[in-house]
Amino acid sequence: MVRVALPFHLRNLAHVEGDVLVEVAAPVTVRTVLDALEARYPMLRGTIREYETGNRRPFLRFFACAEDWSLESVDRELPAAVAKGEEPLIVLGSIAGG
Amino acid sequence: MSGVRVLVGTRKGAFVLTADGRRKDWTVEGPFFAGWEIYHMKGSLADPNRIYVSQTSGWFGQLLQRSDDGGKTWHQPGLSNEAIPPPGPPKALPNRFVYDTSAETGKPLTTHMWYDGTQHPWEFKRVWHLEPSLTEADTVYAGVEDAALFRSTDGGENWKEVSSLRGHGTGPKWQPGAGGMGLHTIILDPSNPKRIYIAISAAGAFRTDDGGATWKPINKGLKSQYIPDPNAEIGHCVHHVAMNPSRPDVLFMQKHWDVMRSDDAGDNWKEVSGNLPTDFGFAIDVHSHEPETLYVVPIKSDSEHFPLDGKLRVYRSRTGGNEWEPLAKGLPEKNCYVNVLRDAMAVDRLDDCGVYFGTTGGQVYVSADSGDSWAPIVHDLPAVLSVEVQTLN
């Protein structure tokens, strides 16, 4: 199971507290994790990735194992620690706009 | 007993204010969707328990919320809060607003003009206005930024663009207003289900007479100093349009400067600013039972978006424009520098027509006597983006 850490408003939308766990078949990438997340929590569709392009929304960033994955290919395999559920994929809202 | 339900969209959530017909003692509920910008919320005339909400955020984009119990509970249409969804493609995508470029029903996605005169891609940002059908609770229109019209016929679960508007030909000349190129006004003609009026900042007003298959600009008579061509078909910054349902051919417009009137469904407009101290503003509305009684909130100028001299005033005309009187009783007399945004004024349909407006300072005011006197319902909300009112029997 892969852990995903969501920002406050998306946790509220999904009615969850803390990190969420989603089952992701290999390869574990940003794309496949988000696919699994949105399949389990359809209310999150369109809130992390834009519908038309599938691109990350501009004011969100992805982190894994203390590294910024926002500009990496969404098909690059995430670290093993994320795939094993030891570390979360973090979806972080930028501190912007008050 | 009759009553009212006031739906208030703010920068940080939605509020529902209810009272009986006296409109004196209010119950305030909210914030719903706390922390999100609620651009607009509106109830269905076909089912007063049905309310649609545009919930939006710069971080997380657009959501659509709906209540089926008059605002007690909310859900994203078609999505369950608890159950694990069934496998397979989703049946409901209530926040998916994608321009229709299909060969079958769509129009090519051209560009539109940008602030600097160059061409800019069409990009969806948010829903500015929701307009439920007058007769069917599951049908609702959405006006969006970048300007386009969408329609849902399944209660907001799925949306399809009425692409004929965006693609009718003048689109490449449309330019954003300061707040973005939003389709902010949608008026459904109660006497003709095929007629719809819309307005876009800053393209102007448009009308369809065939249920959305074709559209035409209806801006003849509008004058805007910043447009060199005095007969420009489009490009006017229309702020808001209002109509009394008993006279669907008569429209009133608050423009970027000028209050305008049309007596022929928008084919021709004439200025009715008359003796207003300033004719800049955003909101405009019409008395429910007196089709020649109008309300505006004059704002100092396009450079200073606050009332003249720090005094918050609503102005009323009982002659369909030109002759205006200030309404001040119960409104701040000094040090008031708020704005009233275009969708932040509404009227109820009680016998003594109530008038409501909300300010960017977080106040919502009510007049239960057609504007003769005002009282605050609340005065410390986040900046108010929209006000609508449902009359409950």
Q: What pLDDT digit, counting tens, does each position of B160-178 carry?
A: 999 999 998 999 999 998 8
Whether pLDDT at B154 is above 60: yes
Alpha carbon distance A46, A21 (integer Å): 19
Cis ω for the linkage preceding B202 (within 30 of 0): yes
Are B315 and B254 a contacting pair, CB within 8 Å?
A: no
Residue A58 lies inside a defined structural domain of this protein: yes
Confidence band (pLDDT; 50, 70, 90) for B80? confident
pLDDT of residue B121: 92
For residue B92, the distance in angstroms to the closest alpha carbon of chain A comes to 9
Whether pLDDT at B90 is above 90: no
Confidence band (pLDDT; 50, 70, 90) for B82? low
User: Structure pTM?
Assistant: 0.96
Query: Any bridge partners for residue B360, and if so which?
Result: none
Alpha carbon distance B218, B148 (integer Å): 16
Judged by average pLDDT, the poorest of B32-41, B139-148, B158-167, B224-233 is: B224-233
Tracing tokens 């049908």 back to the chain, one arrives at B139
Q: What pLDDT digit, counting tens, does each position of B135-146 carry?
A: 999 999 999 999
Q: What pLDDT digit, counting tens, does each position of B301-330 carry?
A: 999 999 999 999 999 999 999 999 999 999
Are B196 and B212 a contacting pair, CB within 8 Å?
A: yes
Q: Do A15 and B35 touch (CB under 8 A)?
A: no
Q: Do A43 and B76 touch (CB under 8 A)?
A: yes
pLDDT of residue A98: 54
Are B294 and B247 a contacting pair, CB within 8 Å?
A: no
pLDDT, greater one: B98 or A97: B98
**HSE-CB for B226 with a 13 A CA cutoff:** 13
Confidence band (pLDDT; 50, 70, 90) for B81? low
Residue A98 lies inside a defined structural domain of this protein: no
- Here the CATH number for the domain that contains residue A63 is 3.10.20.30
What is the spatial order of strands in the sheet that B364-367 belongs to?
Answer: B345-347, B355-358, B364-367, B375-378
Tracing tokens 């539109």 back to the chain, one arrives at B112
Chain B residues inside the 8 Å CB shell of A43 = 76, 79, 81
Closest CA to B325 of B336, B334, B312, B316: B316
Residues 6+ apart with CB under 8 A from B352: B368, B369, B370
Q: Other CB atoms closer than 10 Å to residue B107's CB: what's the count? A: 20
* Tokens read off for B193: 């289900």
Residue A81 lies inside a defined structural domain of this protein: yes
Q: Do A42 and B79 touch (CB under 8 A)?
A: yes
Q: Do A60 and B62 touch (CB under 8 A)?
A: no
Work out the average pLDDT over B360-379.
97
Closest CA to B277 of B243, B311, B251, B250: B311
Chain A residue with CA closest to B85: the answer is: A40
Residue A6 lies inside a defined structural domain of this protein: yes
Cis ω for the linkage preceding B31 (within 30 of 0): yes
Whether pLDDT at B87 is above 80: no
Whether pLDDT at A97 is above 70: no
pLDDT of residue A95: 81
Residue A37 lies inside a defined structural domain of this protein: yes
String of DSSP letters for B308-320: GGG---EEEESSS
Whether pLDDT at B259 is above 90: yes
Q: Which helix (H) or strand (E) holds B161?
A: strand B160-161
pLDDT of residue B84: 74
By Cβ distance, the residue of A7, A39, A57 closest to B61 is: A57
String of DSSP letters for A15-38: T--S-EEE--PSS-BHHHHHHHHH
For residue A50, the distance in angstroms to the closest alpha carbon of chain B comes to 8
Q: How many domains does chain A have?
A: 1
Q: Which domain holds residue A21?
A: 2-93
**CB of A52 less than 8 A from some CB of B:** yes
Work out the average pLDDT over B273-290.
98
Q: What is the ipTM of this complex?
A: 0.92
Whether pLDDT at B88 is above 90: no
Residue A53 lies inside a defined structural domain of this protein: yes
Whether pLDDT at B361 is above 90: yes
Residue A82 lies inside a defined structural domain of this protein: yes
Beta strands in B232-371 (DSSP E): 238-243, 251-255, 259-262, 270-271, 284-286, 294-296, 314-317, 325-327, 345-347, 355-358, 364-367
Rounded mean pLDDT of chain B? 96
Q: What pLDDT digit, counting tens, does each position of A44-96 carry?
A: 999 999 998 899 999 999 999 999 999 999 999 999 999 999 999 999 998 87
Please give the distance of CA B378 from its chain centroid, rounded to a whole number: 21
Are B368 and B347 a contacting pair, CB within 8 Å?
A: no
Closest CA to A8 of A84, A85, A60, A79: A60
B48 DSSP assignment: T
Residue pairs spanning A and B at CB distance below 8 A: 57
Q: Are strands B270-271 and B259-262 parallel, antiparallel or unpaired?
A: antiparallel
